Amino acid sequence: MELRKIRLKDIKPSEYNPRVISKEAFENLKNNIKEFGFLDPLVLNKSLTIISGHQRFKALNELGFVETEAIILDLDKTKEKILNISLNKISGEFDYDKLDKILNSIKKDEVTLTGFTNQEIRELTKKFDFSKELKEFNKLEKEETKHKIWTAKIKEGNDLNNVNKVLARIKKTKGWSRFSNDYCNGLLLKELCRKYSS
């Protein structure tokens, strides 16, 4: 492995790269590079094929860069593809309570520099009212049947079949598809559990 400067015109995007990015997220990426500089080097194979950094490479070109630092590896094609996927897939998770505090402390005109889209930020920082979803869930089945599903060994956590039945019914609510991230859906699930399993 070595780190060296490479001319952008010599770098080759991989044809198999499965990673895509929205237009808004790509603009956020460019703005981030303009604000902080290019801090995350491309990862290239010895043939100068991109393993990781296709969107950053595109952003550098659009921003007028001529060259960039890159990490050069010597991998066969199979290992190259495995690394391409793993560098995009393997990541941590947010503590959403801490994330919410951070996002709310940043100025509105700077918050997209974090990489979150405006829609994601709106969903993460708003106070949620699940009253409509709770009413909708309440209509799915008669109270007696629903109560049995929620209380049948769910507290002990040892009956996956019952838990899956509950999740299937929750996902029928419009709320589950209304939100675009797992955090918001998790809040809805938590509220439903609080209401029906106590």
83/8 same-domain check? yes
Contacts (Cβ under 8 Å, ≥6 apart) of 175 = 130, 132, 133, 136, 185, 188
Q: Are strands 50-52 and 67-73 parallel, antiparallel or unpaired?
A: unpaired
Supply the pLDDT for residue 53.
Answer: 94
Does residue 98 lie within any of the structural domains? Answer: no
42 beta partners? 70
Name the domain boundary from 36, 67, 89: 89
Does residue 159 lie within any of the structural domains? Answer: yes
The residue behind tokens 């009956």 is: 159
Give residue 48's domain range: 2-89
How many domains in the chain?
2
18/79 same-domain check? yes
14/78 same-domain check? yes
d(CA 58, CA 8): 10
In this structure, what DSSP letter does residue 90 have? -
15/85 same-domain check? yes
Helix (H, G, I), strand (E, B) or coil at 44: strand
Does residue 117 lie within any of the structural domains? Answer: no
Contacts (Cβ under 8 Å, ≥6 apart) of 148 = none
Does residue 154 lie within any of the structural domains? Answer: yes
Does residue 106 lie within any of the structural domains? Answer: no
The residue behind tokens 């509105």 is: 108
d(CA 51, CA 85): 9
Does residue 197 lie within any of the structural domains? Answer: yes
Name the domain boundary from 41, 62, 89: 89
Does residue 123 lie within any of the structural domains? Answer: no
Does residue 99 lie within any of the structural domains? Answer: no
pLDDT in tens, the chain (198 residues): 899 999 999 999 999 888 888 898 899 999 999 999 999 999 999 999 999 999 999 999 999 999 999 999 999 999 999 999 888 777 767 676 777 778 778 887 888 888 877 777 776 666 555 566 566 556 655 454 555 444 443 444 444 455 555 566 656 554 444 444 555 555 656 666 665 554
Cα–Cα–Cα angle for 157, 161, 167, nearest 5°?
85
Supply the pLDDT for residue 19.
Answer: 85
Closest by CA to 161, choosing from 152, 171, 174, 173, is 152
Give the CATH number for residue 53: 3.90.1530.10
